[in-house]
Amino acid sequence: MKTRRALPFLPVLTLIVMLGPVLAGLLGTVLPAFGHLPAAGLTGPTLAPFEALFAWVGLLRAVWLSVAVGVVTTVFALALVALITAGWSGTWVYRILERALSPLLSVPHAAAAFGFAFLISPSGWVSRAVSPALTGWDRPPDLLIVQDAWGMSMMAGLIIKEVPFLMLIMMASLGQIDTKRSAAIFQALGYGRVTGWLKTIFPLVYAQIRLPVYVVLAYGMSVVDVAVILGPNTPPTLSVQIVKWMSDPDLAMRLQAAAAALLQLSLVLGVLMFWRVGERVVGQLGAMWIATGSLGKSDTIVRVSALGAGVLGALMIALGLASLAVWSVAGYWGFPDFLPDQFTMRNWDRHAVGTMSALGETAIIALTVVLVALALTVGCLEAEYRYDLRVSSRGMWLLYLPLLVPQTAFLPGLQTLMLTVGADVGRAPVMFAHLVFVFPYVFLALADPFRAWDSRIGTIAAALGARPDRILWQVRLPMLLGPILTAVAVGIAVSVGQYLPTLLIGGGRIETLTTEAVALASAGDRRAIGVYGLMQTAAALIPFALALAVPAIIWRKRRGLRHG
Amino acid sequence: MKYLAFLAALVAPVAALSDPNPADWDAVLADAQGETVYWNAWGGSTTTNDFLAWVGSRVVEDFGVTLEHVKLTDTADAVTRVLSEKQAGEDSDGAIDLIWINGANFAAMKNADLLFGPYAEQLPNWALVDVAGKTVQSDFTVPVDGYESPWAMAQVVFVHDTADMPERVGSMAALLEWVKANPGRFSYPQPPDFLGTTFLKQVLVDILPDASVLVAPATDENYAEVTAPLWAYLDELTPYLWREGKAYPATGTAMFPMITDEEIDLSISFSPGAASTAIANFELPDTVRTFVLDKGTIGNASFVAIPYNSGSKAGAMVVANFLMSPEAQARAQDPAILGYGTVLDMEAISPDERAVFEGLDLGIATLTPAELGTVQAEPHPSWAVRLADDWASRYGVAQ
């Protein structure tokens, strides 16, 4: 009886759990931004932090960088995904891409960025492959490729990681649109694959994937770890500068950091609004383009080059990962040698104890958080089903809020708040913070398959005398085993990759693979980065593999259940 | 908030009463049994991490103290943490029990009353420390007053790949000439990284005819005039730096791979033994050697300090004391392990212990104590802060 009474309130409880920390953290940012930081003996309100911020000579460039990186990354990644899907959906090529997605997605951003940096730098792997034979270089050329002032290597690094994410979202949304009949019609009318798809299906798809696109945009504007590795440093992006100011021994800089965090937040909001206006403009232009009736003569070139760019991106991630693997077993490895002088297990031996304890911590946090997130998700979805509590589009915005608000804008404030209420450092608060980021992904991964479940089966079960709880546990959830495990894998990957929440809320006491890897990264020890980067990737990848394998084994005699 | 502060004021004397008394060492040892000490220390170096893990294994064996190394990317994070705890009224069992610290971070914490002490000079092993010969009672000219205890000596050395740069240079002026003749082959970590800021101070100390002005705090009156030669020097140097000064390595250790990658030939380090250790770990080519300038180079001590709100002060003091033991010091000085300079007075330890130090093979790239020459004093921290800020606005936003 109890559960049935609690169930209708679960969505509200979930919203509080999710949004409470974000709002509280923002409050903890607003106060110091206006000069209120009692621990440093400072009380506001004053505009001094903003004056100091606007007096910083690097501000314009840092702001410009954040905006440019976010917008360029999102435009390119979205265009690439749209063109690849337009050109190849329904073909065997697309099915191969679908298979390659999970591994690409599960490579954590930091590990991918390291690998990418080593590939493209003047002394990197690509350069070594052709040196000195083709280039004559026995010293690398003094070229600013990684950390270039325009942020181009950072944009490239982000694009190759965001394409798989948007691809996954795109594939999921295609299932809800009647693409086959649209395709039949535009093909019959003589339109090319790409042009016809863009004119008829893309507008429908975009309406579905709008929010995830915003997430990519907000993420690109405020990411820290990738920006530290690939982004410029003279000056850095605004988010990196916020983290630098936060760690300045001069306490007054924390006020400036808080002011910058508010600026970062308003930048993201501003760019999102600008993007919405852009959507209308693109829509108008698209309508004009449709009205011209052009059939798309250069479609083949477009679809082949889009696929080429996508495959190149995937290859970069794979090669970057391979370079981490080689570094993890490398002895001395100087330029221009393509491979190390000798291979050794010493690096793994040295880091065995550290990686194992970090792996344990990572696993405990990820599994607990994902189980809680899963329980909340199933509870919300079941409440929606039983009581017809549909999530409105506003509700979806709330769900995405923690992913849209820059982490640098609310996590430092949240840290102070958690201390104030006596929730001391340790594993539990870190789990709580992870949940804020993990829940939306788990919910998004599971919501569609859960809703798509044929409710007539539930009616049959009820007719046979099963109560709602029994239908849920014995019919619906077992049938959804595949999607549930996929949602779990997605949640684990998100939890494994969390850096700032673990560091700030854990007070440094919680050592996960990601915090360890980024700490080591500051020293540029590629062997250590190789070991930790591989472990980090494995921690995210293995759950994906299990999510594919387990339903295939359990349902090996029930073909209809294998795809959920 | 005022209410909280009032509460904190009520609780504070009680917390102070329960603090262990470092002069009563037996009581400290008894107190320390079973305590867990969270040592916040920079975690970017695998060799340092391994050494800290060894310290942990020794203190749990001998004293029943469990040591957890909390790996920082920046020591200032720990300062921030203690500050946040004070703000939140967490005055008796904070997250941090011990911090690897010196310079501006120490000055900030000491000024803000965030440290426990004085304790350092009551520790039993303090008697072995070379108080006369090493700068262990002042930290960047700020009096230590027993609020932190030393555990390693550091000194600036230049690291060069003799395959590409056979000869050392004897002064910063000569270094400038070499860089101009070899464009793109030198860089330094980006200030405010401590090694990058140290490079600025090293330039200043070397090119000023009289560096004694740096001992006193920088003032608005003298700062511009004293530092003018430094900015002139950097204006001349920057176009010839690696990547023409448009990008800088993040830290000192990040420059070792750059030498191995043949990106640069000359680098700077704050640990005289680090190059030898890196060669042994395949991180540098074995053609790398180190040198110091004719007038000497800047040196300082690494310390550990205990936050005022540590819940394991006795355990932290036991670790601090162990770090100053001949056993730990000899291990830290071994270049195969860490290669850090000792803080101990070789005359104060037993002949057997001395033999261990004398038996160390310092490694092919490490200078002997005699070759390391004169240790120049650190300028007052106010110089470093201003230099780093000024550097950031002059070169930190290069177009």
pLDDT tens by residue, A410-455: 887 787 666 666 555 678 889 989 999 999 989 988 888 888 888 8
Confidence tier at B9 by pLDDT (50, 70, 90): very low
Selecting from A353, A415, A525 the residue whose C-beta is nearest the C-beta of B253 gives A525
| CA B114 – CA B92 distance, rounded (Å) | 12
Residue owning tokens 């049935």: A4
Nearest residue on chain A to B50, judged by CA atoms? A350
By the 10 Å C-beta count (0-12 exposed, 13-18 middle, 19+ buried), A558 is classed as exposed
Render pLDDT for B193-231 as a digit per residue (tens, 0 to 9).
Answer: 889 999 999 999 999 999 889 989 999 999 999 999 999
Nearest residue on chain A to B97, judged by CA atoms? A509
Selecting from B112, B263, B396 the residue whose C-beta is nearest the C-beta of A235 gives B396
Count the neighbouring beta carbons within 10 Å of the beta carbon of residue A534. 21
Question: Is the domain covering A345-555 a CATH 1.10.3720.10 domain?
Answer: yes
Average pLDDT of chain A, as a whole number: 87
Give me the mean pLDDT over the B275-290 stretch. 91
Instruction: Indicate yes or no: CB of B261 within 8 angstroms of CB of A335.
Output: yes
| CA B82 – CA A415 distance, rounded (Å) | 12
Instruction: Indicate yes or no: CB of B108 within 8 angstroms of CB of A251.
Output: yes
Chain B residue numbers with beta carbons less than 8 Å from the beta carbon of A330 are: 282
C-alpha pair distances (Å), A77 with each of A69, A159, A170, A356, B3: 12, 5, 12, 36, 52
Instruction: Indicate yes or no: CB of B80 within 8 angstroms of CB of A247.
Output: yes
Give the domain A63-235+271-344 fold: MetI-like fold (1.10.3720)
Residue owning tokens 């004391």: B321
Residue owning tokens 């089903």: A385
Give me the mean pLDDT over the B234-239 stretch. 96
pLDDT of residue B7: 44
Structure tokens at B184: 């793109």
Average pLDDT of chain B, as a whole number: 89
Chain A residue numbers with beta carbons less than 8 Å from the beta carbon of B243 are: 142-144
Chain B residue numbers with beta carbons less than 8 Å from the beta carbon of A333 are: 260, 282
Selecting from B46, B81, B285 the residue whose C-beta is nearest the C-beta of A507 gives B81
For residue A175, pLDDT over 80 is answered with no
Interior/surface letters A491-508, b for 16+ CB within 10 angstroms, e for the rest: bbbbbbbbbbbbbbbbbb
Confidence tier at B33 by pLDDT (50, 70, 90): very high
Instruction: Indicate yes or no: CB of B262 within 8 angstroms of CB of A334.
Output: yes
> What DSSP string runs through A297-321?
TTHHHHHHHHHHHHHHHHHHHHHHH
Render pLDDT for A109-119 as a digit per residue (tens, 0 to 9).
Answer: 888 998 999 99
pLDDT of residue B15: 44
Domain boundaries, chain A: 63-235+271-344, 345-555
Render pLDDT for A344-379 as a digit per residue (tens, 0 to 9).
Answer: 999 899 888 888 989 999 999 999 999 999 999 999
Residue of A523 and B31 predicted with greater confidence: B31
Size of interface A-B (CB pairs under 8 A): 182
Chain A residue numbers with beta carbons less than 8 Å from the beta carbon of B105 are: 249
pLDDT of residue A104: 87
Render pLDDT for A312-355 as a digit per residue (tens, 0 to 9).
Answer: 999 999 999 999 999 999 999 998 899 999 999 998 998 888 88
Confidence tier at B112 by pLDDT (50, 70, 90): confident
B193 in A contact zone (CB under 8 Å) = no
| CA A237 – CA A59 distance, rounded (Å) | 9
Q: Which residues contact residue A268 at a Cβ distance below 8 angstroms, ignoring those fewer than 6 apart?
A: A70, A217, A218, A221, A222, A404, A405, A406
Selecting from B5, B108, B247 the residue whose C-beta is nearest the C-beta of A233 gives B247
How would you classify the pairing of strands B157-161 and B149-155? Answer: unpaired
Structure tokens at A355: 């990686």
List, in order of start, the domains of chain B with CATH numbers.
2-150+302-362 (3.40.190.10), 155-299+375-394 (3.40.190.10)
Instruction: Indicate yes or no: CB of B263 within 8 angstroms of CB of A122.
Output: yes
Q: Work out the minimum CA distance from B127 to partner chain A, whole angstroms.
A: 32
| CA A398 – CA B132 distance, rounded (Å) | 64
pLDDT of residue A419: 64
Confidence tier at B344 by pLDDT (50, 70, 90): very high
| CA B127 – CA B321 distance, rounded (Å) | 11
Chain A residue numbers with beta carbons less than 8 Å from the beta carbon of B244 are: 142, 144
The DSSP letter of residue B38 is E
Instruction: Indicate yes or no: CB of A39 within 8 angstroms of CB of B86.
Output: yes
> What DSSP string runs through B378-394?
PPPHHHHHHHHHHHHHH
Render pLDDT for A248-303 as a digit per residue (tens, 0 to 9).
Answer: 766 678 889 899 999 999 999 999 999 999 999 999 999 999 898 888 888 889 99
Chain A residue numbers with beta carbons less than 8 Å from the beta carbon of B113 are: none
pLDDT of residue A423: 56
Are both A63-235+271-344 and A345-555 of the same fold? yes
Q: Work out the minimum CA distance from B378 to partner chain A, whole angstroms.
A: 18
Chain B residue numbers with beta carbons less than 8 Å from the beta carbon of A128 are: none
pLDDT of residue B6: 45
Instruction: Indicate yes or no: CB of B282 within 8 angstroms of CB of A330.
Output: yes
Confidence tier at B12 by pLDDT (50, 70, 90): very low
Confidence tier at A147 by pLDDT (50, 70, 90): confident
Structure tokens at A229: 């590795």
| CA A226 – CA A240 distance, rounded (Å) | 10
Instruction: Indicate yes or no: CB of B243 within 8 angstroms of CB of A330.
Output: no
Give me the mean pLDDT over the A462-490 stretch. 90
Instruction: Indicate yes or no: CB of A142 within 8 angstroms of CB of B88.
Output: no
Chain A residue numbers with beta carbons less than 8 Å from the beta carbon of B253 are: 523-525
pLDDT of residue A563: 55
Instruction: Indicate yes or no: CB of A354 within 8 angstroms of CB of B49.
Output: yes
Give me the mean pLDDT over the B126-145 stretch. 89
Nearest to A259 by CA among A436, A66, A506, A37: A37
Nearest residue on chain B to A337, judged by CA atoms? B261
pLDDT of residue B10: 42
